[in-house]
Amino acid sequence: MSVSRRDFLERSAALAAAGFIPRLPDGGFLPGPAAPVDVGSGVFRGRPVVISSANGIRGVKVAFDKMANGEDPLDAAIAGVNIEELDPNNQSVGFGGLPNEEGIVQLDASCMHGPTRRAGSVGCIEDIATPSLVAKAVMDYTDHIMLVGPGAKKFALAMGFKEQNLLTEKSRQDWMRWKSRLNKNDAWLDHDEDIKIKFTTGTINMNAVTSAGDIGSVTTTSGMSWKISGRVGDSPIIGAGQYCDNTVGAAGSTGRGEANIKVCGAFLAVEFMRQGMTPEQSLLQVVERVIAMTEKRLLDERGRPYFDLDFYAVTKDGRYAGVSCFEGSRFAVCDEQGARLETSAYLFKASERPKARAN
């Protein structure tokens, strides 16, 4: 069944409210659960689970419930991250995200669909609150994988997404506080006792696997606060911010994207799992590789990083893990036991975290 752009607009009038766009691997709408995967002599049956960064604690429950009702894992995961993209109080993604140095909110997102081996991505998109959905539309409706900047926005508007100002008053005030500290000779008054400058590399990554072993992954972010206009981190980079392979599993990350891009962390984690490592072993290996590839200015004298970086991974059969550079991180998970936060494995103890960041 072919689907025209008009059909898409009519069926997607409430994209954000509905929480997902139907996937179109062959040009048609395919409602209902994914087909079981035949592996050798029999049908694959695994353990359905959704994992994400800790800020996805509300979303993992939404995603899991959608999968339980037969929805596609990528649609479910995107519905989960939409909750945070549309929440103005979450200043690390979507609406209300902290802006770049010019006071403009620029968003990045990417997604992958295991069963069809397809992917979509957008970078530096402005005025669209749900870049995860735009990334999926790129995947579903184009022969491309990544659209950026004005082109990504133009595409989103053509697909029926609504334009809106993403800079909330709360985020604008935080930007003004940061801006006031840039030059001691400017006309702004410094008030050390009551001005606290926010810095964030916050992101949300979510990975979902059905009982049939079908996988979807998505990462979305407003990126590093006060970044140079046009900066792109790892979130929209397939293989860095997220990656999934329906024969193995999925992985993703949050934190300093510049450190992760250089090792293609999500792809590397999936490849380690392909070799037989557990999710936790795979992610610990990735973190070690990240640090090995980090320039000296970002490490203390003991080789400990000044930055934060967290990874999340799940296998086709439902095993999962979260790993951080330092002790103390948590991640969100939802399975048949419900949604909860679990403690991440780590490479270094909290006491080993550097006291100050590098310039």
Q: Which residues are catalytic?
A: 203
Ramachandran region of residue 41, left (φ > 0), alpha (ψ -120 to 50) or beta? Answer: beta
DSSP-derived 3-state class of residue 146:
strand
Rounded to whole angstroms, the Cα distance separating 125 from 146 reads: 11
Instruction: Kindly tell me the number of DSSP H helices and DSSP E strands found in the chain.
Output: 10, 13
User: What sign does the CA torsion over 336, 279, 130, 121 have?
Assistant: negative
Rounded to whole angstroms, the Cα distance separating 270 from 248 reads: 7
List of E strands, the chain = 49-53, 107-113, 118-125, 146-148, 203-209, 215-221, 242-245, 249-255, 309-315, 320-326, 330-335, 338-343, 345-348
Ramachandran region of residue 262, left (φ > 0), alpha (ψ -120 to 50) or beta? Answer: alpha
Rounded to whole angstroms, the Cα distance separating 352 from 349 reads: 5
Tokens standing for 353?
């975290």
